[in-house]
Amino acid sequence: MARVLIAAAFVPSPPLLVPELTGSAATETADLRAAVLAVGSELRAAARWVVVGAGTDASDVPDTAVGTFRGFGVDLVVALGPAATGTPDPQLPLPALIAGWLRDRTAPVVRATTHVVPAGTSPQDCARLGRQLRSTLDADRTPTALLVVADGPATLTAKAPGAYHPEAQNLDEALGVALAVGDVAALAALDPALCAETVCDGRAAWQVLAAVFGPDGPASAATTHSSAPYGVGYHVGMWRP
């Protein structure tokens, strides 16, 4: 029987991934961008992407959606699927915009649906959502890649978006290790209170990822890039079942 979930990739969500938005500063994040594009290319074998990200409110974005980065300064249009049409929506959640940008550049025939989980979702509810998502994927039988769009703490330096928090570095290092080795227990155990204090809003998406893979975790895991430009932890990599 063909494997349904063929891989899961994780990438960060900053608009600075998009060179059109950063101008001359694009060179500062060139390595990060290259790593993100590389994992996107590895997901081309899937018929669809299921995207999980964290945000202020829960929302689902279909693969027919069209968005624009106009709210970030440039009217760069992205699509969530090859059949996506209509007026670009400047209000699409950032995880959907990043997924659309990555899809357009690496896997334009793929359909991408996006599920945004509120950043404050409890670990128990994240686990439930992850189990439900895996059950839905297994029942559908469509070869699927999971794309997690999430950031580490945004408090790693004094100039970070959330300013400096003394616990942020330890948290980001622990997150990086868990992602690199596929430690689902460590992701499931991320403390929501500490993550809120350190502005690690990606915590909810990481915990959904852990639940999708279940207690056995991935068969293989690798992180291809970790960095913290501008004081935010960014991790890129791949898990395979």
Going from the first residue of the chain to its last (241 residues), give the mean pLDDT of each consecutive group of 10, the final group possibly shorter.
82 95 80 97 96 97 98 96 94 98 98 98 98 94 96 98 98 98 98 98 98 97 96 98 94
pLDDT, position 3: 67
Give 128's contacts (C-beta < 8 A, 6+ positions apart): 211
Beta bridge mates, 79: 66
pLDDT, position 145: 98
pLDDT, position 27: 82
| pTM exceeds 0.75 for this model | yes
Which helix (DSSP H) or strand (DSSP E) does residue 197 occupy? helix 192-197
Distance in angstroms (rounded) separating the CA atoms of residues 19 and 98? 12
pLDDT, position 1: 37
Q: Which of 111, 137, 113 is nearest to 211 (CA)?
A: 137
Which helix (DSSP H) or strand (DSSP E) does residue 49 occupy? strand 48-55
The class level of CATH for 5-240 reads alpha beta
Distance in angstroms (rounded) separating the CA atoms of residues 117 and 112? 16
Domain boundaries, the chain: 5-240
pLDDT, position 77: 98
CA distances from 64 to 32, 56, 131, 143, 198 (A): 28, 22, 25, 19, 35
Distance in angstroms (rounded) separating the CA atoms of residues 229 and 233? 8
The angle, 0 to 180 degrees and rounded to 10, between the axes of the packed helices 30-42 and 94-106 is 70
Distance in angstroms (rounded) separating the CA atoms of residues 174 and 181? 11
Question: How many other C-beta atoms can be found within 10 angstroms of the C-beta atom of residue 2?
Answer: 7
> Which tokens belong to 228?
């913290």
> Which tokens belong to 81?
């699927």
